Amino acid sequence: MSYLRGSANYVWCTTSVLGKGATGAVFQGVDKNNGEPVAVKTFNSQSQTRPIDVQMREFQVLKKVKHENIVKLLAIEEEQDGRGKVIVMELCTGGSLFNILDDPENTYGLAESEFLLVLEHLCAGMKHLRDNNLVHRDLKPGNIMKYIADDGSTIYKLTDFGAARELNEDQQFFSLYGTEEYLHPDVYERAVLRKPVNKTFGATVDLWSIGVTLYHVATGNLPFRPFGGRRNKETMYFITTRKDSGVISGVQAYENAPIEWSKELPNNCRLSYGLKKIVTPLLAGLLEVNKQYIWSFERFFNQVTDILCRKAIHVFNFHTMQSLQAYLHPEDKLSALKAHIQEQTDILPHAQIILFGETLLSKIIDENRVAKGFPVTTIENPFSVFSRENNNVVSAVINGLGNLQSVNSSSSSSTTGTTVGNSVSSTLDGISAEPNSNSNSNRDKKCESIVFPVFANLVSVENDASQAKLACSVGHSCKRTVDRLAIASKLSQDSVNAFVNLLSSELKRLTKQVDHLRELTKAVEKIFTAAERGDAVGIQAIKKFSNSSSVPHSVGNESKSNEWGMELHLRHKQLFSELAPAIAQLYQRYVKDEVLKAEWESTTRQLTCPWKTKASQRASTLVDRLRDGWQHLLRDRATLQRSESLADWYKMVQTIYLQSQILDKDLRTYNNSLESFACRMSQESNERYETLSSYINTLPTKQLTSQTSNLPDSIREEGTKMWRNICDMQQQIALILCDNDLLVDKINNLTINKINSDNTLIEFNDSEKNLTD
């Protein structure tokens, strides 16, 4: 059996399966002309049962669309063996988004940057479809492919247009397509529950599928999850249709349990609070069932554009050692940034000290500069915020790890995969995912334990592989926590150095200002002395040349000069006796003697810095080891599945073999009965022949001749032929019986030889064993 199949310009192997669906499969192939890898979609017999116009629809859609975020069509060709048409597309080596989400690293959703990339590319692909009046009708992570460009960049592309069709904004359709977890409730009611409702559907059913897909990408889970999954279809329909507006998830924890509704993304979601704040309304709009509030595609595209145009500002909160993100509109100003910081830290705008590097942000950005002109920040080079009114520092990351050690001794109890995943996710990925001081409810939440799954004493490759995958998920969560702790340690050190340098700069500036004020005070004193002397000379001149001996009060008021003298003396005393010594003392202590830096180094000398000890890299190594173990168990499970498949195959073969044995026995029985019948018939025929011959011989010759001569010639000839045929048949039966006897003798001889050879082999093995002993 050949696994190679081909068309005029392409060849593919049916063992290189990239994906399978209801109507066909996708294989990896190559271009015969240049060896470039491609993806080839073939169609099965089920797809041939569809109407011709439906079969041709996918070809027509692929020919019509051409966009960077839609899988590129290369060719439509006929298979060489006449099995029908195949679609040749560009190969997306990154796999499907569903497989990416299935990786333990993404158990709780994609990273923030990757989520935004999916959102951008999904929206761009859908906009191209709507610009061409097309609906997809089967949007899900499995139909979004990851393409790695030549420059290493990632592009997500829509694929599988088997259900796509042309549909204007105001048109409706009746046909049912899609995957049930991603279906709009109205479609679900007809397609899954099989209810005879007379409903039509519009293009906006794709928006619901987009909402479910985006929630899945953000959290790693489906938004609506009845206990039992697909088995509990009625509850699934209840969750999606009875939820309130704004609710984006509904989960049933156990059988007949109440539904746990939520209008927020879960704590274990890897998105920052700043992004959650603007993504949650988007999800709520997409997952709306009330027809009064259902979004249009235009609103969806505008909302995504609004999200993607924002500038991400990274901020490090010194008091909680947390990295935050604020998403600002390009035209927002510094006041908007301070408002975002206040929302996530509770630090009032007037109390915020914001540094970028070692410089106050107010010296870099004036109040009127817009956000698109702000300096570029990263997770490792953020704005640092300090409070003028709060001198406490409480690390949210370290507090979140408080239960780690105590859990190790209490984690021996058996834990199901779901429970472990939930507790670990709510602990690890919840730590530092939400701002610690965003709300009192978040601050007062008790941190749950970090629990790795427990492997049962009974070895089960299937269960162990599942537990190993769960352990990898926990490991990745731990690694992300270690990463946050390491970056928090680094940024804390950077913030300390920045603030120390800021203080040094300020003290140096104050010292220079003191020197300047000293000179200025001396100059003012000289001016005062000169003015005082000038007044005295003037008064003397007036007295000498004036006719009157008295001097006007406005001119000769000596109390004013005394007042100036006293005020100048007080100011001189304030500068030289109070301000200057205090600044000099601070300068000597904290600039020249570097007491602050020495105090910090003395305090942290015995402490380990996760950043300096490369804790993240070591955590990566440990997680890789976990993944290696998981991969080994996956291979073992594959081997087990192969053995199980072999067992199933052997069961079938054994059944067929037993059937053949039974049939062989039936054939032997038939052969023996036929042989007995032939012998009996031959014997009886001979006896009958002899009886007839003897009876004929007893008849008179003339009578016989006259009777015989009275028969027609045709009857005599037919009787002769029949008699000859009977004789020939007897001879053939005799030959067959003879051949059967020879075959039976051969079989008996082969059986005897086989038994003798087996006995010889056993004797040889026994003798070899004896020699070994």
Question: Could you tell me if residue 326 is left (phi over 0), alpha (psi between -120 and 50 degrees) or otherwise beta?
Answer: beta
Cβ(424)–Cβ(407) below 8 Å? no
The answer to whether 252 and 239 are in contact (CB under 8 A) is: yes
Is 41 marked within a binding site? yes
Yes or no: say if 280 and 248 are a contact pair by the CB < 8 Å rule: yes
Alpha-helix residue ranges (DSSP H) falling in 546-614: 558-573, 580-587, 595-604
> CA torsion sign, 494 to 500 to 501 to 502?
positive
Ordered strands of the 24-31 beta sheet: 4-6, 10-20, 24-31, 37-43, 85-90, 73-78
β-strand pairing of 224-225 with 249-252: parallel
In angstroms, the CA 386 to CA 321 distance is 11
What does the alpha-carbon distance between residue 302 and residue 114 come to, in Å, rounded to a whole number? 20
Q: How far apart are CA 561 and CA 555, in angstroms?
A: 11
Query: 16: helix, coil or strand?
Result: strand
Q: How far apart are CA 214 and CA 101, in angstroms?
A: 12
CA angle 81, 85, 87 (to 5 degrees): 125
* Contact yes or no for 225/216 (Cβ under 8 A): no
Tokens coding 448: 């749950």
Measured between alpha carbons, how far is 10 from 269 in angstroms, rounded to an integer? Answer: 43
Which run of H or of E encompasses 187? Answer: helix 185-191
Alpha carbon 46 to its chain's center: 31
Non-local CB neighbours of 343 within 8 Å, separated by 6+ positions: 438
Q: Which two tokens stand for residue 530?
A: 């000169």
Do the Cβ atoms of 88 and 76 come closer than 8 Å?
yes
Written as one string, the DSSP assignment of 700-722 is -HHHHHHHHHHS-HHHHHHHHHH
Helices (H) and strands (E) in the chain, counts: 22, 18
In this structure, what are the phi and psi dihedrals at residue 754, rounded to the nearest 5 degrees?
-60, -45
Which among 45, 330, 63, 100 has a CA at the least distance from the CA of 217? 100
Residue from 335, 340, 341, 328 nearest 371 by CA: 328
Q: Which residues, other chains included, contact 535 with Cβ-Cβ below 8 Å and sequence gap of 6+?
A: 561
Reduced to 3 DSSP states, what percent helix, strand and coil does the chain have, rounded to the nearest 5? Answer: 60, 10, 30
Where on the phi/psi map is residue 455: left (φ > 0), alpha (ψ -120 to 50), or beta?
A: beta
What tokens were used for 107? 């158990």
Q: What's the CA gap between 421 and 417, in Å, rounded?
A: 6
The answer to whether the CB of 420 falls within 8 A of the CB of 462 is no
138 is a catalytic site residue: yes
Tell me the residue length of the chain. 773
Please state, in angstroms and rounded to a whole number, the distance separating the CA atoms of residues 548 and 512: 52
Torsions phi, psi of 110, nearest 5?
-80, 160
Which tokens hold the place of 725? 């045929």
Sort strands 73-78 and 37-43 into parallel, antiparallel or unpaired: unpaired
Distance CA 661, CA 72 (A): 56
Structure tokens that stand for 701 in this block: 């010759």
Catalytic residue among 53, 138, 366, 628: 138
SS (H, E, C) 98-131: HHHHHCHHHCCCCCHHHHHHHHHHHHHHHHHHHH
Annotated binding site for ATP: 41
Annotated binding site: 41
Tell me the catalytic residues: 138
